Amino acid sequence: MKHAYVFPGQGSQFPGMGKEQYDSSAFAKKLFEQANELLGFRISDILFTGSEEDLRQTKVTQPAVFLHSVIAYKGIEHSKPDMVAGHSLGEFSALVANGVLNFEDALQLVSIRAMAMQKACELQASTMAAVLGLADDVVEAVCARVQEESGETVVPANYNCPGQLVISGSVKGIELACEQLKAAGAKRALVLPVGGAFHSPLMEPAKQELKEAIEGMKFQSPICPVYQNVVAKAVIDRDEIKQNLIQQLTGAVRWTQSVQSMIGDGASRFTEVGPGKVLQGLIAKIDKTVTVEGHS
């Protein structure tokens, strides 16, 4: 029986997150204060007293979810994962858990990533939409057709679980795709309240900025494989981990395929580490036979 630790991404945040950790643990307090210094603003104040709107800023959301997840992971006694994975941003938390990155370096990369994504979002009006109730290949075909016919960008971005795929692209591209997906029988094709087209070619400027930072960072040998979003299989080579992490910003999050690969490689127990229960719900939909739990 293999134990997989998985880490959530953007969207799991909530007002007040981390306050309990900060108040009850000297170690958590130390990491929060380190983060305040490294980020150049008091993220702890925003988390503990800010509104939902404050937490939606990408420059806040991404470090916040990362910070909460890493503190939660460090609080698990005798944690020794057989494998790790993270959903989008969560891949950085996973790389701390398997020893590839230390906390400070990972937080610096997360901050650079968040700021670069924010800038890329401001270059062009773009968004994402959740598509429910269609097979992946149908969604892929509609996206390809819309791109070919309109010249607009629209691509599959997050393969969350069977019957739930998020698409990403220009505002016009997403509108056209949603119309066609509904006509193709989607239960819902719902535009999401996000400020940009994450995991699409429109993130290319952010990818170039992150690439420079990642290539200048020292990655250590992992203690266990990481199942990375863009390849959905076990990776242990440091250089390969770096390249996959760079490609992640413009590539799709293959979460369904990653979980299936982990189960295929022997995972029967999954622990979601960090805020929320999003991944627990997705994993249960991917395979009902595995044990799924949370630790926050």
Q: What residues are annotated to the active site?
A: 88, 199
Q: Are 201 and 155 in contact (CB under 8 A)?
A: yes
Distances (CA, A) of 9 to 125, 150, 179, 229, 273: 22, 31, 28, 12, 11
In a 10 Å sphere around its CB, with 0-12 CB exposed, 13-18 middle and 19+ buried, how is residue 227 labelled? Answer: buried
Distances (CA, A) of 1 to 139, 222, 234, 270: 35, 20, 17, 11
The single-letter DSSP state of residue 6 is E
| Type of residue found at 197 | A
223: tokens are 């203690």
β-pairing, 267-273 vs 291-295, is parallel
How far, in Å, CA of 170 to CA of 65, rounded? Answer: 26
